[in-house]
Amino acid sequence: MIASLVTDLGPWSWWILAAVLLAAELLAPGVFLIWIGAAALVVGAISLALWGTAVWSWHVQLLLFAVLSVAFALLGRRYYHNNRNSTDEPFLNQREASLIGRTATLEEPITEGRGRIRLDDTWWSVQGEDMPAGTRVRIASAHGRTLTVENIGS
C-alpha cells in the first residue's frame, strides 16, 4: 500500500513527508525533526528533477535521505552549540540558586540544624548552626528546597 502510494504521488511523496515532519516539530518541539524534515525537502527537490531517470531509484533516494538527515542533524547541533545566547536572567528556572547571597531574618529558630525563613512570599527550610529567631542570616548555598544559611549578626 505504501509503495503504491509513493509510486502514485511520485516526487511529491518526499514533500508530504517533509510537511508531516515539520508539523510534528511544531507539535512536539525539540529541534530535531526539523533537520529530518529539511533532508526530506532536499530529496523532494532533487526528485522533482530526477524522478524519471534510471539512476534515481528508491534505494538511492533512501540512502540520500539517511545521509542528509544525519548530516543536517549534526550541522544543526553544531550551529546551536556555537550560537548560545547569554541571558540577562541566568537563574530563571533555578529559583534556589538565585537566592544565594541574599539576607533574611529567621522567622523560626534553627534548632538541631533546622529552621525556617520567609523570603518574598515563600517559606524556606534552612539548615545551619543553631540560632534564635530574629537572627540575620545570609544564604550560603541551596540544595533543592533547603537553604544553608550563615549568621551575619542581629
Fold classification of 95-153 (topology level): OB fold (Dihydrolipoamide Acetyltransferase, E2P) (2.40.50)
**136 CB-near residues (< 8 Å, 6+ apart):** 103, 104, 105, 151, 152, 153, 154
Specify the pLDDT at position 89.
66
pLDDT of residue 5 exceeding 70, the answer is no
- Global pTM value: 0.54
- pLDDT digit string (tens) for 82-141? 777 776 666 667 777 778 889 988 888 999 989 888 888 888 899 999 999 888 999 999
What is the per-residue pLDDT for 51? 83
Which residue ranges does the chain devote to CATH 2.40.50.140? 95-153
Task: Give the number of other CB atoms < 10 A from CB of residue 119.
Answer: 16
Interval 10-39: pLDDT, tens: 888 899 999 999 999 888 877 789 999 999
- Residue 115 DSSP label: E
**DSSP H or E segment with residue 15:** helix 12-27
Which pLDDT score is estimated for 75? 92
Residue with cell 525539540: 30
C-alpha span between 78 and 75 (Å, rounded): 5
Q: Residue 96: what pLDDT? A: 77
